[in-house]
């Protein structure tokens, strides 16, 4: 995959602009990357329902689970599907609505200072090799664009909303991801 960031957009990604975004404050210091997982309906992939959720067009009658989430106004900067394809929903200079009630290092409202990446998946099964490859490449680009984010400031949703969120879940291989990321950063230095 050949991707790069220009004008707060990921060149090489599918672009869909979610209405669920807002301006960051002028003093926002983007210094956190949050990894999530999502599948809609739960455990099902390639349904198009994630796009619908981020576009406020999810049909509440299409699945029983949708009744409880169809009114949510949420988004993420990026989604990496099971094949490793990346979709961008929110430009990087804008606030995506992905972390909800959250805190990191004593700072609340992590959406204000973070970038969110959703991996298509669940807490109950492994992510794909293609997803790790794309996640590493995307992360390298983000870290180059936002030097205040370093590998220690890459966390899971569960880290900023403990007790409320569990993603990216126990099947996300943090050691594998961090080793691959470290190797790519060293190779690019």
With H, G, I as helix, E, B as strand and everything else as coil, classify residue 14: strand
Report pLDDT digits (tens) over 111-142: 999 999 999 999 999 999 999 999 999 999 99
- CB-count exposure of residue 81 (10 Å: 0-12, 13-18, 19+): buried
Phi, psi of 66 (to 5 degrees): -70, -20
Report pLDDT digits (tens) over 61-99: 999 999 999 999 999 999 999 999 999 999 999 999 999
DSSP code of residue 15: E
Distance CA(22)–CA(7), nearest Å, equals: 17
Q: Which residues are designated catalytic?
A: 118
DSSP code of residue 19: S
Which run of H or of E encompasses 129?
Answer: helix 129-145
- Ordered structural domains, the chain, with CATH: 4-188 (3.40.80.10)
Which run of H or of E encompasses 186?
Answer: helix 174-188
With H, G, I as helix, E, B as strand and everything else as coil, classify residue 35: strand
The pLDDT value recorded for residue 155 is 98
Using alpha carbons only, what angle is made at residue 154 by residues 73 and 29, rounded to the nearest 5 degrees? Answer: 70
14-35 average pLDDT score: 95
Report pLDDT digits (tens) over 140-176: 999 999 999 999 999 999 999 999 999 999 999 999 9
């Amino acid at each position: 995959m050949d991707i790069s960031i220009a004008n707060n957009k990921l060149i090489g990604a599918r672009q869909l602009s979610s209405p669920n975004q807002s301006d960051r404050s002028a003093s926002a210091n983007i210094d956190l990357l949050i990894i999530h997982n999502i599948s809609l309906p739960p455990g099902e992939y390639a349904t198009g329902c994630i796009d619908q959720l981020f576009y406020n067009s999810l049909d509440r009658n299409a699945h029983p689970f949708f009744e409880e989430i169809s009114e949510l106004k949420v988004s993420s900067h990026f989604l990496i599907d099971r094949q490793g394809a990346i979709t961008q929903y929110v430009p990087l200079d804008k606030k995506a609505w992905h972390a909800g009630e959250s805190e990191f290092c004593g700072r609340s409202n992590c959406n204000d200072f973070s970038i969110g990446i959703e991996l298509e998946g669940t807490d109950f099964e492994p992510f794909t090799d293609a997803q790790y490859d794309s996640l590493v490449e995307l992360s390298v680009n983000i870290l180059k664009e936002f030097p205040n984010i370093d590998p220690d400031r890459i966390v899971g949703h569960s880290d900023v909303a403990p007790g409320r969120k569990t993603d990216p879940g126990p099947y996300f291989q943090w050691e594998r991801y961090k080793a691959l990321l470290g190797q790519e950063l060293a190779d690019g230095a």
